[in-house]
Structures are given as structure tokens and as C-alpha cells.
Amino acid sequence: MQKFNNQHSTMIKMRTIRTLLLSLFIGAMMLVQAQNKLDKKVLMTIADEKVTVKEFIDVYSKNNVNDEVIDKKSLEEYLDLYINFKLKVKEAENLKMDTAAAFKKELEGYRKQLAKPYFTNDEVSEALLEEAYQRKLMDVRASHILLRLEKDAAPSDTLAVYNRALELRKRIKAGEDFAAVAVEASEDPSARDREEIVGKQSFRPGNKGDLGYFSVFDMVYPFENGAYTTPVGEVSMPIRSDFGYHLIKVQDRSPAIGTMEVAHIYLSLPPQATDSLTTAKAEKIQRIYTEIEQGTPFEEAVKAYSEDRGSAQRDGKLSKFTANRIVPEFVETIKTMEVGDISEPVKTLYGFHIIKLIGLEKPADFEAEKTKLSERLAKDSRAQKSEEAVITQIQKDAGFKTYDKNLQSFIASLDSSFNTGNWQATDATDNSLVLFKLGKKTFNTADFIAYIMQKQNKQEYNDPARYAYKLYNEFVKQSSLDYEDSMLEEKYPEFAMLMEEYHDGILLFDLMDKEVWSKAIKDSVGLEKFYDQNKQNYLWNNRVSATIYTINKEEDVDKVAQILRNTEVNEAVLAALEQDSIRSVRIKKGKYEKGDNNYVDMINWEVGLSDALKSNVDKTTVFVRIHELLPPQPKELDEARGIITSDYQTALERQWVESLRAKYPVTIDSAVFEKVKANY
């Protein structure tokens, strides 16, 4: 029985809680509905333009930067400011200032900047940023074999080059040396020796495909991907870039060395040096290294032996560099060193070096590197991945639908003249074929033809159909972006509100400058009249007319004090100082209020000469002579032109607003405003 009573009691409590929660939910829903209903009500009409409660509160909330609680007084004050603002904008629109070319250009510039975030996929961008940072932490050394291929090559040509790359990879995987195959087959001319042509070019040894060390953004993105994802010692599958197909062999992947600062001792070696010369240079660099080991300062050895005369004048120092800016032997050596170390002799393509590591600047943490990486990312081809994701989403949201048969029919009508760059549609061209749809907008062959007329250029070695498909894909991409751009105000109310703010703000600035700011500055007659009517508002406080005598030499203080006690007129003081050849006194006469000068503030304001005042900062001594006590009096116009001009601008604005209120009717629904004050 007790168990039943407990269960019964629990059930009653649960029903009570459920009833209470339901009541709260219904009450909250009713409150939200009431609020939504109020938001839609018209609060005021300004020059026939209706303003809803929501419009007014949204603007108020955005400008209420201190997040203060909205109270009745502040709402009433802001209502007046809002009306004045809207009246000024209305006047600007009536003056057609929003149709001016300069206004349209400025607003469009702001719109482009404000629209950018809507054309970026944040998830993709963040992933690319994180990927770029992780790659910045690693240096890669890789070799490649390039088989060139036009960016827009035909599928048959693309397949042929791809198969050639596969055959080369099979040979390497079967045991052939990558460097030897690169010299034989790579279409990157740097892989092979450049022979000497007397009087035209010198001999240059080939790199056999070795690109040295590099990091993020140093290579085109597809190549970078291949280099960072292929295991060390392995050869990648053919990788497509705008240059063609690459086979990449990764030789090393190690923690990033960052920015290096080194000095070196250098002995040059010609590209085709004989064995005897190479041996002689090797022995010499070893002797130099032995001298350093035995105590000869590195800097002295630089001056005595280095053949890099430019750096020798700087104790062997080179400009700071990163791994991609130096031969790989340098990087590999420095990766084993600590700051201050001096390396054993190192042979490179250019000769022999002894390296001293002066400093290393490793990559910083993600937050410190983020801004620079974002800037590089925005300019890099990988940024297209974010744009591609955006375009995919735009097309999905808009119900993108293509009509492939119509496109094929149009492209089939093209002949070789399409590649001249001067193609024109003929009477036989069907302009009405629908190619695709985005939302309610239809794009037909006429739209595509208009795009072709703008973008076409000569394609001497391209297939007309392939070139047409390339232009079509670009047209679809641009049309998708333009479509989304045209829908921004409709899809995103916050963007529409922001654009309205910029629209009104630019108009307001231009009109305020015309009616108030520049007008007050140019209207000298009006300014003087305003000053004459209000000069009692610009009074000096109690002041003194005084001269400050600053003496810089202690030995002159007594002599100067005697002159000042005997002579009150500054001209006579100057003559006496000149007669005694005293050059250590600086004299400054002026009118001073409290706070204008420390020394004037330190003395009693009585006519006469003060006692000596010692500086707490330097060894100067100061005397102050008060000539006259000046009662409060109006400032001259030039003495307070800044504040007077500002007040005149305020007066002009007040008069102007009064005229606007007389010109444009303003009505406020008092009952609605009372509800606003009560609800908010």
C-alpha cells in the first residue's frame, strides 16, 4: 500500500511539473508571437516612407555599442536622432546624389568587400589553412620528370602523355636510376646540361631533375600535394598540373629549417673543372678549416681566403634565406648544426664552402603564422577549392539543372572559325536553346554567345569543341557566382541591412560635407557673424601677462638675477645680457592661464619678479616676471577658431534639420511607441 501511495504521489508530481512546463512554453510562445506582431507594426512615417518597429530597434541595437539596457529615455532620445538621420538621407535622394557616378562606384567598391565572405567556404578554407601550416613545418627535397601538356589538351592527347609517364615510372620501378631517366626523358630543360655557346651562353650543369628543398607555396599546388603525400624514397603516380604530367621522387622530408642566417668561406669551382683543380681546391679548403680548428677566428679566415668578395666585406655573411633559395647541400649541412657551429668543408655545384650558422628562425605557432598564410592562400590556386565548394552549394540551393542535348547541339554547329578569336553568330545560330537554369533564371544560347563575344581569343592549336566546352564551364561558373551575388540581399537580411547602412552613410557624409562641414569653413562672413553673436561663450579664464627667463648655466644665475632686478623691460634685459656676453638665457613672453606653464603656476600671481625656480629635470634655473593680471575676456576669433567653427557647424546643422522637418512630414504612432517602450 505504501508503495502504491509513493507511486501515486510521484505521478501527481510529474503531472504538476508537466503542466507547469507546458504553461511556461505556451506563455513563451504567446510572448514571442506578440513580439513578432509588434515588430511588424509601423512605428513612424518619414516623408511617406514607413518604418517598422523592427527596423528602428535593429538600428538602435546595432548603434547601442555599450550593450546597455534599452530604457525609455534612451529610446526617446534615439528616436529623435533616427528621424534626423532619415530626413538627411531623404534629402540626399531627392537631390539625386545616389545617382552620381562617384557615389555608385564607391558603394559598389564597399559591396564587393562586404560580399566576399559569402563566397568563401569556411570549412574548406580552414582545412586549407591548417594543411598549409602543417606543410610549413616540413621541408621536402624532391626530383621530378616533366612531360609537358597543354592545360586544355584534348582527352586523347592527355591520355597519350599519361601513358608515357606510366611507362617511365615502370622503368624506374624496375630498377633504372631516376636521375638518368630524367636526363633522357624530362621536358624540364634544367634536367640536362646546357652546353656552352661561345659568345652567347656559358656551360651549366643539369640538375638531373633534383629541385632541392622547398616548402608550402613554393610549387604549384598539385605538385606540392604529390611531394607531401608520396613516401620518402618512392616515385609518385603521374600528377597533373597546368604544365603537364610529373613523376615525383621524394628524397627527404624533415622538420622545417625556417629562415637561416649564415656566413661562409667560399672557394669557387668552374662547372667543368678538371680533376686536378677540384683536388687542389678541396685540399685548400681543408687547410683553411684546419686553421680555424687551431684557433684562427672565422672572420679573419673569411677576409684572408674567401673568393666571395661581396660577402667577405661582411665577415662572410649572406642575406637571410629559406630552404628553397639555396642549394640542397647547404640545407642538409645546416640541419645538423647548432647556432654558432662552423661546418666542415661542403662541396656544392658552385665550389667549396665552410659554413658558420649565425641564426635560425623556425616557423612560429599557428596563430602567429595564420595571417601571412591566409594572405598567401588567397593568392594561390588552391583557393579555387573553396570557390568550387561555394559554387557547388550555390547550384544545389538554386536547383541547378542543365540541358546537355541543347549544349551539344550548339557546340556541334561550331567549325574551325570558332578558334580565330573573331567568331560571330550567324542567322543559322539558334539563340533560344536553354542551356541551364538557376532558381527561376534561365540561361540560353544567347547568353552564352554574349559571354563568348567578351572572352574569346585565338586558339590556333585547340579543337573548337574543346575550346567551346572550356568557355562554357567558365560561363556556368561565372553565372553561378553572379546569380548568388544578385540574391545576397534577399537571402541574407543582415547583408541587406549592412548595404543600406553603407548606402545611407555615404549619402549622409557627402550631404553633411556640403551643407555643414565645408560650408562652415568657407563661410567666413557667417562665421564672424556667429562669433559676434556668441563671443561671450568663448572667454579666457583669469590670466597673467608674464615673461619666463630660463638660464641654462649655473654660473650665470647670479648675474642674470641682478640684471632682472634692475631692469623690467625685456629689451633692456636683452641689451644688458648682450653687454655681459651672457648667451645662456632663453626669454619667452606670453599670456598664461592656470595649467599653461608649470613655472607660472608655481608662483603667486602678483605683479613683479619671482624668486629663482630650480628645475627638477635638468640644471636650468627659471625666473618669472608677471607684468599684468588679466581678468576674463572674450577670446579673439583666431584664438579659438577650431571650437568656434565646430559650434558654428552645430548651429548650421540644427537650422538645416529644422528646415528638413518643415519640408518633409514626420508622423509617429504614439500608441505603438508606448508599447515599444514597455516591451523593450
Which three cell numbers mark 294? 687551431
Distance CA 179, CA 168 (A): 12
Q: Which among 453, 475, 491 is the end of a domain? A: 491
Q: Is the dihedral of CA 562, 567, 568, 569 positive or negative?
A: negative
User: Residue 13 burial (CB < 10 Å; 0-12/13-18/19+)?
Assistant: exposed
**Considering the domain boundaries, does residue 51 fall inside one?**
no
Higher pLDDT, 164 or 2: 164
Cα separation, 412 vs 422, whole angstroms: 18
pTM (2 decimals)?
Answer: 0.64
pLDDT of residue 461 exceeding 90 = no
Q: Do residues 470 and 560 both lie within one domain?
A: no
Q: Verify that 147 and 247 share a domain, yes or no.
A: yes
**Cell numbers at residue 519, please?**
560650408
Distances from the Cα of 218 to the Cα of 139, 372, 390, angstroms:
11, 14, 26
pLDDT tens digit sequence for 506-525: 999 999 999 999 988 899 99
Q: Is residue 497 part of a domain?
A: no
In sequence order, what E strands does 235-386 have? 239-241, 244-255, 259-268, 346-348, 351-361
Which of 15-29, 98-112, 161-175, 604-618 bottoms out in mean pLDDT, i.e. has the lowest?
15-29
Helix (H) or strand (E) holding 134: helix 122-136
pLDDT at 69: 52
pLDDT at 11 over 60: no
Q: What is the pLDDT of residues 662-675, one digit of tens each?
A: 999 999 999 999 99
Q: What's the pLDDT band for 32 if we cut at 50, 70, 90?
A: very low
**pLDDT (0 to 100) of residue 26:** 39
Q: How far apart are CA 11 and CA 6, in angstroms?
A: 9
Q: Which domain holds residue 8?
A: 1-36
- Place 75 in a pLDDT band, splitting at 50, 70 and 90: confident
Q: Are both 200 and 282 inside the same structural domain?
A: no
Kindly compute the dihedral angle of the four CA atoms of residues 591, 593, 596, 601, in this order, to the nearest 10 degrees: 110
> Would residue 582 count as lying in a domain?
yes
Per-residue confidence band for 46, with pLDDT thresholds at 50, 70 and 90:
very high
61 found inside a domain: no
Query: Could you tell me if residue 478 is inside a domain?
Result: yes
In a domain, 382, yes or no: no
Low-confidence winner among 407-421, 480-494, 531-545 (lowest mean pLDDT): 407-421
Please report, for the domain that includes residue 553, its CATH number. Answer: 3.10.50
- Minimum mean pLDDT range among 67-71, 179-183, 210-214: 67-71
In a domain, 209, yes or no: yes
Same domain, 241 and 296: no
Residue 21: its pLDDT value, please?
43
Please say if the pLDDT value at position 13 is more than 70. Answer: no
Q: Which residues are paired to 204 by β-bridges?
A: 194
Look at residue 617 in the predicted model and tell me its pLDDT.
75
Query: Domain ends where: 238, 255, 272?
Result: 255
CA atoms within 13 A on the CB side of 198: 0
Tell me which of 10-14, 446-450, 473-477, 503-507 is least confident: 10-14
- 68 has pLDDT over 60: no
Q: What is the DSSP letter of 99?
A: G
**Predicted pLDDT of residue 641:** 93
pLDDT at 151: 83
pLDDT-based confidence at 70, cuts 50/70/90?
A: low
User: For residue 27, what pLDDT is reported?
Assistant: 41
Q: Are residues 227 and 180 in the same domain?
A: yes
Which residues are 44's β-sheet partners?
51, 668
pLDDT of residue 160: 95
DSSP 8-state symbol, 215: -
Please compute the mean of the pLDDT values over residues 467-490 and round it to a whole number: 94
Domain boundary among 362, 388, 416: 362
Domain count along the chain: 5
Other beta carbons within 10 Å of 428: 6
Looking at the structure, tell me whether residues 274 and 334 fall in a common domain.
yes
pLDDT of 557 higher than 60:
yes
Query: To the nearest whole number, what is the mean pLDDT of the chain?
Result: 90
Q: 108-121 b/e with 16+ CB inside 10 Å = b?
A: eebbeeebeeeeeb
Q: How far apart are CA 244 and CA 295, in angstroms?
A: 54
Q: From CA 96, how far away is CA 91, in angstroms rounded?
A: 9
Q: Considering only residues 262 and 420, tell me which one the structure prediction assigns the higher pLDDT.
A: 262
Whether residue 402 is found in the same domain as residue 455 = yes
Q: Is the pLDDT of residue 15 over 80?
A: no
Residue 25's pLDDT band, with cuts at 50, 70 and 90, is very low
Residue 515 is assigned to a structural domain of this protein: no
What is the rounded CA–CA span in Å between residue 418 and residue 423?
A: 5
| CATH code for the domain of 301 | 3.10.50.40
**CA separation, residue 510 to residues 30, 88, 94, 113, 501 (Å):** 45, 11, 14, 21, 14
> Is the per-residue pLDDT at 254 higher than 60?
yes
How far apart are the C-alpha atoms of 293 and 450, rounded to whole Å?
75
CA neighbor of 407 nearest in space, from 449, 454, 362, 376:
449
Instruction: State whether 624 and 552 are in the same domain.
Output: yes
Beta strand residue intervals within 269-418, DSSP E? 346-348, 351-361, 401-402
Do residues 567 and 462 both lie within one domain?
A: no
C-alpha 655 chain-centroid distance: 42
What's the angle, vertex CA 388, arms to CA 474 and CA 399, rounded to 5? 80
C-beta neighbour count of 219 within 10 angstroms: 22
Cα separation values, 4 from 17, 18, 40, Å: 20, 21, 54
Residues 264, 250 share a domain: no
479 CA to centre of own chain: 27
Interval 77-110: pLDDT, tens: 889 999 999 999 999 999 999 999 999 999 999 9
Cα–Cα dist 350/270, whole Å: 7
* pLDDT score for 668: 94
Question: Are residues 242 and 272 located together in one domain of the fold?
Answer: no
List, for residues 370-395, the tens digit of each pLDDT value: 999 999 998 998 988 988 999 999 99
Average pLDDT (574-597) is 93
Is-contact 302 310, C-beta < 8 A? no
Q: What is the spatial order of strands in the sheet that 441-444 belongs to?
A: 401-402, 434-438, 441-444
Cα-based torsion angle of the residue sequence 156, 162, 164, 170 in order, rounded to the nearest 10 degrees: -150
In this structure, the answer to whether residues 246 and 265 fall within a common structural domain is no
Q: Tell me the pLDDT tens digit for each residue of 269-303.
A: 988 889 999 999 999 999 999 999 999 999 999 99
Q: What is the pLDDT of residue 24?
A: 43
